[in-house]
Structure 1
Amino acid sequence: MALQISATNPEHPALLLELPWGTPLEEWPEEYLVPLPRGISRHVVRYARAGEETVAVKELAERPALREYELLRDLDRLGIPAVDALAVVTGRTGSAGEPLEPVLITRHLGGSMPYRSMFETTMRPATMHRLMDALAVLLVRLHLAGFAWGDCSLSNTLFRRDAGAYAAYLVDAETGELHRRLSDGQREYDLDLARVNISGELLDLEASGALHPSVDPVGFGAQICARYRGLWQELTRTSVYPAGKHHYIERRIRRLNDLGFDVAEMQIESSPTGDTVTFVPKVVDAGHHQRQLLRLTGLDTEENQARRLLTDLESWMATQDDYAPGDPPPSSRLRSSRGDPHAARPEVLAHRWVREVFRPAVRAVPRELRGDMDPAELYHQVLEHRWYLSERAQHDIGLDTAVRDYVDNILPAARRTPEPAGD
Structure 2
Amino acid sequence: MPLQISATNPEHPVLLLALPWHIPLEEWPDEYLVPLPRGISRHVVRYARAGDEVVAVKELAERPALREYELLRTLDRLGIPSVDPLAVVTGREQPDGSPLEPVLITRHLGGSQPYRSMFETTMRPSTVHRLMDALAVLLVRLHLTGFAWGDCSLSNTLFRRDAGAYAAYLVDAETGELHEKLSDGQRAYDIDLARVNISGEMLDLEASGALHPSIDPIEFGAEVGQRYENLWNELTRTSVYPAGKHHYMERRIRRLNDLGFDVAEMQISRSPQGDTVTFVPKVVDAGHHQRQLLRLTGMDAEENQARRLLNDLESWMATQDDAPGARPEVLAHRWVRDVFRPTVRAVRDRVPVPMDPAELYHELLEHRWYLSERAQHDIGLDAATEDYIRTRLKPQDD
Identity of aligned residues (%): 83
Task: Tell me if 1:389 matches 2:388.
Answer: no
Task: Tell me if 1:347 matches 2:329.
Answer: yes
Following superposition of structure 1 onto structure 2, how do residues 270-285 of structure 1 map, counting pairs within 5 Å? 270-285=270-285
Q: Secondary structure at 2:256's aligned position in 1?
A: helix
Between stretches 395-404 and 137-146, larger displacement belongs to: 395-404
Matches of 1:177 and 1:194 in 2, distance apart? 16
Matches of 2:128 and 2:352 in 1, distance apart? 41
Tell me the CA shift for residue 324 of structure 1: 3.6
Matches of 1:191 and 1:244 in 2, distance apart? 38
- Structure 1: which amino acid aligns with 2:325? G
Q: Secondary structure at 2:47's aligned position in 1?
A: strand
Matches of 1:48 and 1:412 in 2, distance apart? 69
Equivalent residue, structure 1, for 2:114: 114
Matches of 1:94 and 1:349 in 2, distance apart? 58
Matches of 1:366 and 1:94 in 2, distance apart? 77
Q: Secondary structure at 1:5's aligned position in 2?
A: strand
Matches of 2:395 and 2:208 in 1, distance apart? 60
Q: Deviations over 1:24-81 (max 9, x none)?
A: 0000011111110000000000000111111000001111111111111111111110
Matches of 1:379 and 1:139 in 2, distance apart? 36
Equivalent residue, structure 2, for 1:338: none
Equivalent residue, structure 1, for 2:11: 11
Q: Provide closer, same or farther for how the CA distance between residues 44 and 249 of structure 1 changes in structure 2, counting only shifts above 3 A.
A: same
What is the aligned residue count? 398
Tell me the CA shift for residue 365 of structure 1: 1.9
Matches of 2:239 and 2:396 in 1, distance apart? 37
Between stretches 293-302 and 347-356, larger displacement belongs to: 347-356
Matches of 1:4 and 1:349 in 2, distance apart? 48
Q: Provide closer, same or farther for how the CA distance between residues 415 and 144 of structure 1 changes in structure 2, counting only shifts above 3 A.
A: farther
Tell me the CA shift for residue 319 of structure 1: 2.4
CA contact (8 A) 1:130 1:283 kept: yes
Following superposition of structure 1 onto structure 2, how do residues 207-356 of structure 1 map, counting pairs within 5 Å? 207-321=207-321, 323-327=322-326, 345-356=327-338
Tell me the CA shift for residue 366 of structure 1: 5.4
Matches of 1:368 and 1:272 in 2, distance apart? 41
Following superposition of structure 1 onto structure 2, how do residues 7-406 of structure 1 map, counting pairs within 5 Å? 7-321=7-321, 323-327=322-326, 345-365=327-347, 367=349, 369-406=351-388
Q: CA RMSD in A?
A: 1.5
Matches of 2:325 and 2:210 in 1, distance apart? 44
- Structure 1: which amino acid aligns with 2:214? S
CA contact (8 A) 1:369 1:412 kept: no
Q: Deviations over 1:349-382 (max 9, x none)?
A: 3222222221222222253534253211111111
Matches of 2:28 and 2:328 in 1, distance apart? 48
Between stretches 354-363 and 380-389, larger displacement belongs to: 354-363
Matches of 2:340 and 2:211 in 1, distance apart? 46
Q: Provide closer, same or farther for how the CA distance between residues 66 and 234 of structure 1 changes in structure 2, counting only shifts above 3 A.
A: same
Q: Provide closer, same or farther for how the CA distance between residues 233 and 69 of structure 1 changes in structure 2, counting only shifts above 3 A.
A: same
- Structure 1: which amino acid aligns with 2:341? R
Q: Provide closer, same or farther for how the CA distance between residues 24 and 407 of structure 1 changes in structure 2, counting only shifts above 3 A.
A: same
Matches of 2:11 and 2:90 in 1, distance apart? 18
Q: Secondary structure at 1:364's aligned position in 2?
A: helix
Matches of 1:320 and 1:407 in 2, distance apart? 28
CA contact (8 A) 1:370 1:378 kept: no
With normalisation by structure 1, the TM-score equals 0.91
CA contact (8 A) 2:140 2:231 kept: yes
Q: Secondary structure at 1:168's aligned position in 2?
A: strand
Between stretches 389-398 and 173-182, larger displacement belongs to: 389-398
Matches of 2:366 and 2:224 in 1, distance apart? 31
Matches of 1:123 and 1:366 in 2, distance apart? 44
Q: Deviations over 1:262-315 (max 9, x none)?
A: 001100111111111101100011111111111211211101101111111122
CA contact (8 A) 1:44 1:59 kept: yes
CA contact (8 A) 1:369 1:415 kept: no
- Gaps in structure 2 of 5+ consecutive residues: none
Tell me the CA shift for residue 411 of structure 1: 3.5
CA contact (8 A) 1:157 1:172 kept: yes
Q: Secondary structure at 2:196's aligned position in 1?
A: helix
CA contact (8 A) 1:386 1:398 kept: yes
